[in-house]
Amino acid sequence: MADLKTHKTFKNTNFEVLTHEGFEDFKGLMIGKNPIKLILKFTENKSLICTPKHKIVLTDGSFKYAKDLMIDDSVYGNYKLLEKNEFISDDLVYEFLEIKDNHKYYVNGLLSKQCLVLDELAFLECLSGETFIKVRNKKTKEIQKIKIKDLSNQLKNIQKV
């Protein structure tokens, strides 16, 4: 089993993430490496950069790993996959830790399922830092659309205080 200590984690106490059941609490973010990425392009200009084992929710509520999606597969929200391409990148990847109740969240308008999978090389299976999510500040109730890497930086800065 991979050593979780090789990945950075940032605790969250300030934000909630948008899920299909509204905004829900999450415990934090994990940041790691995985050089293999996929870019998925869907109808209605939806797209996602993720790792091969990132879980995408289908229209029937089940999920598939990104690598297993086929052209014309329909995902939650009735978006059809138009294109899937693999590429290599050293950019960090990000994953939510313990999303309350449902473990699902919206990313770039697409419903994903929390992965928290480490492969045999200790690569983290999750999202590109350029991916957008919606979060709500627990205190102010302000909602913001933010890149997941920017949320990570905010959590990191909060913990320095």
The CATH architecture annotation of domain 4-160 reads Beta Complex (2.170)
- Answer whether 81's CB lies under 8 Å from 42's CB: yes
- Work out the pLDDT band at 127, boundaries 50, 70, 90: confident
* Domain ranges across the chain: 4-160
- 22-41 pLDDT, tens digit per residue, is 999 999 888 888 899 999 99
What is the pLDDT at residue 44? Answer: 96
- 57-77 pLDDT, tens digit per residue, is 999 999 999 999 999 999 999
Integer angstrom CA distances of residue 111 from 1, 91, 96, 139, 153: 28, 22, 13, 25, 23
- Work out the pLDDT band at 117, boundaries 50, 70, 90: very low
pTM of the model: 0.83
The three-class DSSP label of residue 52 is: coil
